[in-house]
Structure 1
Amino acid sequence: MPEDDDTPTRILRALRFRPKGMTITEVAKRIGVTRNSVSKHLEIMQIAGKVDVRNVGNAKLYSLAQRVPMSAFLCFTKNLILILDSAGRIVQVNDRCQQALRRSKDDLLGLTLEEAALPVVSTPEAIAVVEGLEREQVITDLRYRSNGTDLFYQMQAIPTTFDDGEKGCTLVLEDITEQKRYVRNMEFLARTAMELVDLPAEADIYWYIADRIRELVPEARVIVHSFDEVNRQMILRAMEDSRFREDAKRIVGRDLPGTVFPITDLLSSAPFNYTPERFVPLREFILNQEPGEDGVSFYDLCAGIFPRDVCDIVVRELNLGKMYGIGLVWQDQVFGIASIFFTPQEELNDRKAFESFIRQASIAIARRQTEERLRRSEHRFREVIDSSPSAAALIDADGRYTFLNRRFTDLFGYTLSDIPAGREWFKKAFPDDHARKEAIAAWKSDLAEVGRGEMRPRTFAVRCKSGGEKAFLFRPVELCDGTHYVTYEDVTEERRAYQMLVDEIAELRRQLASPPE
C-alpha cells in the first residue's frame, strides 16, 4: 500500500523529464509498476488537473499539466470570478468579486445565480449563457446600469471539472467599461464633428449642443448660455432635459430660456477673476457653499437675479450638489458657457470626451459667426453695387455670372436667368460670329496683359435684349479671388457725336482738297 501511495509522485517525476509526453507503457517501465496501476493513477491525476493527455494515433501521451493553480488564479487576478457546481450553485467566489458585488462569501455560497440576485451575473442574459453552456467556453458582453451609469463586462463561461470528477462552470468577468466608453466616445466625437459641419444655418446650435451633452452624459441636467459680446452679458439659450426645465419653471415662476444673466462683470471680478483663458478648462463647483476657489453658491451663479430663498429651493428640490462649467471658447473669443448639474453623489466620468465635444462646438460657433459676418459683408457689398448708378456685374472665376445689378437690366434688358454664364452673354450680346470672335479675343488679350486689380477698359457694340444695338464702355477688374467686377457705361450718344465730328472733319478736308471752280 505504501508503494501504491508513492506511485503518483513517481509518475510526476518521470513525466517531468519527458516534456513531450509518455505512454502508459513507457511510464510503467520507467517506474517499475504494472500498466493497470499506472493507468488508474493517470486517470485520477487527469481529473485532478495534474496531467494532460493527447492522442497520437492509437496511443495516448501523458504530460505534466501546465496550469495555474485555481487558488492563485482566484487571489491575484483583477477579474471577478464565480465557480458554480453542476446544479448551478455558487461554490467559490474570489475576493475581487466580493468587493465589487459588496457581498461576502458566506452570503453567496450555496445559492444559485437567481437566488443570489447579483448585479451583472444574475441578469437573464447571463443566466441564459450559463444554462446553455456545454463543452466549449462561451464569451459574451454584458451591460448593466448602476446609479444612472452604464457598466460593461465581458463574461467567460468556462466548463469546469472538479477533483471528484463533478462538472461545473467558472464565470470570469472582466470590467470593459473603460474600453466601451472609449469606443463610444470616439464614435460620438466623429459623428458630432460631421453633424456640426453639416448643421443647417437656421438650426439653433445651442440647443444642438445641449442635446448632444445629454446624449453623452444622460444623467446630467444641462444649461447652455450664449455670450452677447455687445452688451457683455450671458443669455440662457437651452435647457435639457425637459423635466429639469419644467421643474425650474415651476419654482422660479417662468420659463428660463431667453433669460439674461449679467454675469460677465461677476466672473471678471473677485473671487473668479475670469479671463477668456480661464473659461477654457472644465471646472467643478460645489453648490450651496461659501464662495471659494472651487465652491460657489447657486445664488451667486445666477448673478443674484433670483431671490436667495428661491435659489435655495431650486438646489434642495432638484437635488443639485455640484456643477461642472466650461466655456465655449475659441482663439481667445468667448461664445458662451456650457454647464452640467449633478446630484451630490454623481460624478462626471467622461471628462475628456465632454471637453473635446465642447472644443468642437466652439469651433463650429466660431465658423458660423465668421460665415455670418461674410454673408453680411457680401450682402452689403451687393447692396452697394445694386444701388450704383452704373450698370455692374460679378463674374466668378469659372465664368458664371453671379450678380447683375438693376442698372444692368435697365440698360441691356437681360436678367441673370438670361445670361447665367459668359458663353450665353457673348451669344446674345454679339450675335454676329465675326464680331463675337473679335470680342472674345479682345477680352482674353486684355486679361493676359493687365494684372489683377487693374482696370482694362474697352468699348464694344452690344445687341440688347430689345434688339437694338448700342455702344458700351466695359471696365472689367479682376479681384483677388479671381472674380471679375465689370461696370458698363452707355456711350452710344458720345460715339455717335464723335462719329459725326469725324465725318465733318473728313468733309472739310475733302472740300479743302478740291480746287475752287
Structure 2
Amino acid sequence: MEEEPDTQTRILRALRFRPKGMTITEVAKQIGATRNSVSKHLEILQIAGKVDVRSIGNAKLYSLAQRVPMSAFLCFTKNLILILDGGGRIVQVNDRCQRALGRSKDDLIGLTLAEAELPVVSTPEALAVIAGLEREQVITDLRYRSGGTDLFYQMQAIPTTFDDGEKGCTLVLEDITERKRYVRNMEFLARTAMELVDLPAGADIYRYVADRVAELLPGNPKCWVESFDEVKGVFFMRALVDESLRKGAARLIGRDLVGMAFPLEEVYSSEPYFETPPHLKEMREYHFHPFFDDEKVSFHDLSARQIPEEVCDAILRTFSIGKFYSTGLVWQEQVFGMVGIGLRPDEVLENREVIESFIRQASIAIARRQTEDRLRRSEHRFREVIEFSPSAAALIDAGGRYTFLNRRFTDLFGYTLEDIPTTEAWFGKAFPDEQKRREAIAAWHSDLEGAARGEARTRTFSVRCRDGAEKAALFQPVQLCDGTHYVTCEDCHRGAAGVTGAGR
C-alpha cells in the first residue's frame, strides 16, 4: 500500500474508522509518526474545526468533527442565525434573520446584542443565557411580546471556534410560536372540558363562558354572552367582560347592559339574514364605521335597534371597537345564546378555531344543564303529585330500596323512610310472624312477575303498624319503565289476619 505523505490526511483517515475517538499515542502508533508531531497536527485540525476533542480523566480523545459548512448552514436553514465573536459582537447574520428583524447586515455587524437592541435576543433573559455559556451548548425557550401578541422562540447558544482559534458563540433561533399555541390551546380545551363537567348546578355558566373566552383574546379583552329565552324569543345579556366598557356603556345608555333584552330572533330570522340555528354556529365577522368602509351591518342593527344609533356610535368610538365577532351557543338545532367579541381595528383574532371549539363544548354543557334542570323539575312535580295524593303511596327502586313515602303512607302505617329503607326492612316490620312474612313475600313477587309493565295487581295484606296494631290494607303496585315500583295503599277498615286475594 502506498504511504500517505500528508500527516494531517493520515490522521483524519485513522480517526474515520474510530468514531469513539483515539488518544494522541494511539494515533501516533496507527500512522507511524512521533507523538509530538501528531499532537501538533491535531491542534491545527482542532482549530480548523475538523477535529473535536473531549477529556476522559487525564486522557484526551480526538474524533472527527461532524459539522455542516457554515455557509450552507446560514443560507439554507429556516432558523434565524447570529454569530458573535469572543467580545460578544455580531460578526455574521443570515438572510432570514435580517428579514425577520428588518435590519440589514451593515446595521448589525460590530454591535453587541445590547447595543443592537434586537427583539428576543437582546432581552435580559437571553443575554443572561449567552453570558453564562461555557463549553456546552445551551437550549432555552424565550417569550417575547409584540403588538399585543406573545411570540415564542427556542434559542440554541452554541460555543463556536473560528479558523484563527478565537472562541465565539452561534445563536440559532427557531420560531416555536405555533407549537406553543397548539399545546396551550389543547391544554385549554382539556381543562375547560373538565371544568364544564364539574361546574356546580348553581354556578353562572354564562359568566364562566365569557371569562374563558376572554383568556384567548388579545390586549384588553371585550367579550359578552347572551342567553336565549325560547318562550319569549329574545336574547338576554348575561355576562360582559371589561368592566370599563360595562360602566361606560351604562352611562351612555342610561342602564346596565347586563340584563337587557334584545329581540335578535326577529333580526336573524328576517331579511336579509334568514338565519337558522345551524347558521348561527358559524362565527361571523363584522366591521364598523368609522374604522372601516366595508360595513354591511351596523352595531345598531346587531343590538336589534334597542340601543339608539348615536349611542352605538359613541360606544364604538369611546372603546375603539372596530371589529365584532359573533357566534351562537347552538347544539342539535337548538339555540341557547350568543357570544360576542369586540376588537380594536388593529387587533387580530388569532385563536378563532379554539374559541369555536370551546363554544361548542359550552353549548353541549348548557344543553346538558337544561336537560338536567327539566328532569329535576319533572321529578319534583312527580313527587309533589305523589305527596298530595289522597292515597298512601311509596316509591321503591329496582334494587328494592324505598326512595319516597308520602305523608298519607306514614299516617296509615306509622312508618317513616328511616324505619323502612328497604323492602327487607318493610317485610320484617310489617310481618313479624315468619310464616306470614314468607307468604307475603311470595305473594308480592308472584304479583310483580305476573303483571305487565304499567299494570296494577291488587292484593290485601294484614300489616303490623308501627304502634303494634294490625291493619288490613289494599296494595296496588305498578312497575314503571326504569324498574321503579309505584305502590298505593288503601285502608280496608277491617282486621284481616292473613294474606288474601283481591280483585284480580
TM range (shorter): 0.7 to 0.9
Whole-Å separation in 1 of the counterparts to 2:251 and 2:489: 65
Cα 1:256–1:59 shift into 2, 3 Å:
closer
Cα 1:252–1:105 shift into 2, 3 Å:
farther
Q: Which residue of structure 2 aligns with residue 353 of structure 1?
A: 354
Q: Which residue of structure 2 aligns with residue 275 of structure 1?
A: 276
Equivalent of 1:20 in 17, 22, 42? 17
Q: Which residue of structure 1 aligns with residue 490 of structure 2?
A: 489
Q: Report 1:106-505 matches (<5 A).
A: 106-217=106-217, 219=219, 220-288=221-289, 295-493=296-494
Question: What's the % identity of the aligned pairs?
Answer: 66
Q: Which amino acid aligns with 1:212?
A: R
Range that drifts further, 106-115 or 300-309: 106-115
Q: Which amino acid aligns with 1:426?
A: F
**How many correspondences in the alignment?**
485
CA drift at 1:54: 7.7
Contact 2:396-2:404 at 8 Å conserved across structures: yes
Whole-Å separation in 2 of the counterparts to 1:58 and 1:298: 78
Q: Which amino acid aligns with 1:165?
A: G
CA drift at 1:14: 8.9
Contact 1:24-1:60 at 8 Å conserved across structures: no
CA drift at 1:193: 1.1
Cα 1:26–1:386 shift into 2, 3 Å:
closer
Q: Which residue of structure 1 aligns with residue 101 of structure 2?
A: 101
Contact 1:400-1:420 at 8 Å conserved across structures: yes
Range that drifts further, 354-363 or 485-494: 485-494
Cα 1:244–1:93 shift into 2, 3 Å:
farther
Q: Which residue of structure 2 aligns with residue 92 of structure 1?
A: 92
Deviations 1:361-384 (A, max 9, x none): 000111111111111211221222
Whole-Å separation in 1 of the counterparts to 2:374 and 2:390: 26
Q: Report 1:71-86 matches (<5 A).
A: 71-86=71-86
CA drift at 1:177: 1.5
Contact 2:470-2:495 at 8 Å conserved across structures: no
Range that drifts further, 110-119 or 49-58: 49-58
Larger Rg: 1
Cα 1:421–1:48 shift into 2, 3 Å:
same
Whole-Å separation in 2 of the counterparts to 1:234 and 1:46: 75
Whole-Å separation in 2 of the counterparts to 1:308 and 1:155: 52
CA drift at 1:76: 1.8
Cα 1:472–1:60 shift into 2, 3 Å:
closer
Cα 1:412–1:26 shift into 2, 3 Å:
closer
TM-score (norm 1): 0.85
Whole-Å separation in 2 of the counterparts to 1:198 and 1:51: 61
TM-score (norm 2): 0.87
Whole-Å separation in 2 of the counterparts to 1:407 and 1:54: 92
Whole-Å separation in 1 of the counterparts to 2:137 and 2:12: 29
CA drift at 1:449: 3.1
Range that drifts further, 383-392 or 411-420: 411-420
Cα 1:307–1:13 shift into 2, 3 Å:
farther
Whole-Å separation in 1 of the counterparts to 2:73 and 2:446: 86
Deviations 1:212-266 (A, max 9, x none): 1112335331011111111111111110132332232233332210111112111
Range that drifts further, 193-202 or 361-370: 193-202
Range that drifts further, 109-118 or 461-470: 109-118
2:478 counterpart SS class: strand
CA drift at 1:337: 0.8
Q: Which runs of 5+ in 2 are unaligned?
A: none
2:494 counterpart SS class: helix
Whole-Å separation in 2 of the counterparts to 1:101 and 1:248: 41
Cα 1:55–1:184 shift into 2, 3 Å:
closer
Q: Report 1:22-37 matches (<5 A).
A: 23=27
Whole-Å separation in 1 of the counterparts to 2:31 and 2:253: 88
Cα 1:111–1:466 shift into 2, 3 Å:
same
Contact 2:396-2:402 at 8 Å conserved across structures: yes
Contact 1:290-1:296 at 8 Å conserved across structures: no
CA drift at 1:104: 2.9
Deviations 1:308-363 (A, max 9, x none): 22111111121112112111000011111111111111111122211111111000
Cα 1:25–1:291 shift into 2, 3 Å:
closer
